């Protein structure tokens, strides 16, 4: 697991098992270089709508082919880049790349929208909305096709700015979602004033609910609360059919997880999508008339 030791500004050390220890400033420099040299790529993980039994959107997840370490997963480096100007660069690169790939998916007949993850500091920064709008101008897509996921700590750390960004994005027609809900310091009351499109229930709750009925109760009430606040829900980290059934039964609108597929590169994703409809497809992805 990732952990960081603080020893003064930018001297924080990042540790990952196959990597050993690196300073945060080295990682930041490497990432900026990687974006420029196109050493980063995206994978996409589908979200399945429980009612329509079809894939309605995909989430872009960054993958970094590091020259020394090989495939370097985001959980090791995203936390140490928070607050640095590598995050806005990452965010912009992800939005552009993902929206170009979405165009390809849609032109191949898949009626999907795209989610991207945006770091808290980038999301609440002054330039963020104009950043997003500039990308939309350049690539010319409908704002409803872009969903922005921010983790729940965004609401905790800079409440007013976060509320502003949520409202502005919502008014412009983008979708905005809260990721990893229930993992950290959720201040549930803040949901009351926010136009949240999707609440993504953290995978630790999904996993815990399978063997602890008390966590199951928390999950049930979280889903119920979201519904009453007019907020759609995604159950993250669905790994088994039992979890899929449990989450559907409790009213989750969407499911996402290895039970369907891990994230895939765009070509693989298109093949996977083509293989789904019909009787040989995934049991949760049957064709229905219930549009």
Specify burial of residue 241 (Cβ count, 10 A radius: 0-12, 13-18, 19+). Answer: exposed
Q: Is 263 in the site for Mg ion (CB under 5 A)?
A: yes
With CB under 5 A as the contact rule, the residue among 30, 101, 180, 197 that binds Mg ion is: 180
- Angle between the N-to-C axes of helices 74-81 and 24-36, in degrees from 0 to 180, rounded to the nearest 10: 110
Least Å from the CB of residue 171 to Mg ion: 23
Choosing among Mg ion, ligand C2E, none, which partner's interface includes residue 159 (Cβ < 5 to 8 Å by kind)?
none
> Is there binding between residue 180 and ligand C2E (CB under 6 A)?
yes
Tell me if 153 contacts Mg ion by CB under 5 A: no
Q: Are strands 198-201 and 3-5 parallel, antiparallel or unpaired?
A: unpaired
User: Which range, of 135-143, 148-156, 186-194, 204-212, touches Mg ion by CB under 5 A?
Assistant: 148-156
The tokens of 10 are what? 């930018």
Spatial contact of 95 and 81, defined as CB atoms under 8 Å apart:
no
Tokens at residue 68, please? Answer: 């020394």
Task: List C-alpha distances in Å: 99 to 47, 84, 113, 144, 210.
Answer: 17, 24, 9, 12, 35
Q: Indicate which of Mg ion, ligand C2E, none lies near residue 62 (CB less than 5 to 8 Å, by partner kind).
A: ligand C2E
Q: What is the C-alpha separation between 63 and 45, in angstroms, rounded?
A: 13
Tell me the β-bridge partners of 181.
Answer: 201
Q: Which of residues 125-154 bind ligand C2E (CB under 6 A)?
A: 149
Out of 17, 109, 262, 283, the only residue in the binding site for Mg ion (CB under 5 A) is: 262
Residue 6 backbone dihedrals phi, psi, to 5 degrees:
-90, 130
**Cβ atoms 217, 181 nearer than 8 A:** no
Q: How many residues bind ligand C2E (CB under 6 A)?
A: 24
HSE on the CB side for 270, CA within 13 Å? 11
Report the distance separating Cα 284 and Cα 280, nearest Å.
11
Looking at residues 97 to 136 of the shown chain, list those that interact with Mg ion (rule: CB under 5 A).
Answer: 117
Query: From the list Mg ion, ligand C2E, none, which binds 257 (C-beta under 5 to 8 Å, kind-based)?
Result: ligand C2E
* Among Mg ion, ligand C2E, none, residue 78 binds (CB under 5-8 Å by kind): ligand C2E
Q: Does 149 bind Mg ion (CB under 5 A)?
A: yes
Is 261 an interacting residue with respect to Mg ion (CB under 5 A)? Answer: no
Residues 50-89 close enough to bind ligand C2E by CB under 6 A: 61-62, 73-75, 78
Kindly provide the b/e burial profile for residues 149-164, where b requires at least 16 CB atoms within 10 angstroms of the residue's own CB. bbbbbbbeebeebbbe
The distance of closest approach from Cβ of residue 29 to Mg ion in the complex, given in angstroms and rounded to an integer, is: 25
Helix (H, G, I), strand (E, B) or coil at 31: helix
Q: Binding to ligand C2E (CB under 6 A): which residues in 205-264?
A: 236-239, 257-258, 262-263
Nearer to Mg ion, 20 or 70 (CB): 70
The least distance separating Mg ion from the CB of residue 59, rounded to whole angstroms, comes to 6
CB of 44 to ligand C2E, least distance (A): 10
The mark string for 87-126 relative to ligand C2E (x by CB under 6 A, - otherwise) is ---x---x----------------------xxx-------
**Distance in angstroms (rounded) separating the CA atoms of residues 49 and 291:** 11
Q: Which residues bind ligand C2E (CB under 6 A)?
A: 45, 61-62, 73-75, 78, 90, 94, 117-119, 149, 179-180, 203, 236-239, 257-258, 262-263
């Amino acid at each position: 697991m990732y952990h960081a030791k603080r020893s003064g500004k930018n001297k924080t050390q990042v540790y990952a098992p196959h990597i050993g220890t690196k300073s945060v400033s080295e990682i930041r420099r490497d990432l900026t270089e990687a974006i420029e040299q196109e050493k980063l790529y995206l994978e996409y993980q589908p979200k399945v709508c429980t009612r329509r039994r079809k894939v309605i959107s995909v989430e872009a997840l960054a993958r970094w082919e590091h020259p020394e370490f090989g495939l370097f997963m985001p959980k090791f480096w995203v936390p140490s880049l928070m607050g640095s100007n590598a995050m806005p660069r990452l965010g912009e690169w992800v939005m552009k790349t993902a929206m170009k790939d979405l165009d390809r998916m849609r032109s191949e007949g898949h009626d999907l929208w795209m989610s991207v993850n945006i770091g808290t500091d980038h999301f609440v920064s002054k330039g963020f909305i104009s950043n997003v709008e500039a990308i939309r101008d350049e690539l010319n897509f409908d704002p409803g096709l872009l969903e922005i996921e921010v983790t729940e700590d965004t609401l905790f750390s800079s409440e007013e700015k976060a509320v502003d960004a949520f409202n502005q994005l919502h008014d412009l027609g983008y979708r905005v979602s809260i990721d990893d809900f229930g993992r950290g310091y959720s201040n549930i009351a803040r949901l009351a004033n926010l136009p949240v499109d999707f609440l993504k229930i953290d995978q630790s709750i999904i996993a815990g609910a399978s063997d602890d009925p008390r966590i199951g109760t928390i999950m049930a009430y979280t889903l119920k609360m979201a519904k009453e606040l007019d907020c759609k829900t995604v159950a993250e980290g669905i790994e088994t059919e039992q979890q899929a059934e449990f989450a559907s039964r409790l009213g989750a609108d969407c499911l996402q997880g290895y039970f369907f597929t891990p994230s895939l590169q765009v070509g693989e994703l298109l093949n996977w999508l083509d293989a789904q409809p019909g009787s040989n497809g995934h049991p949760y992805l049957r064709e229905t008339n219930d549009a």
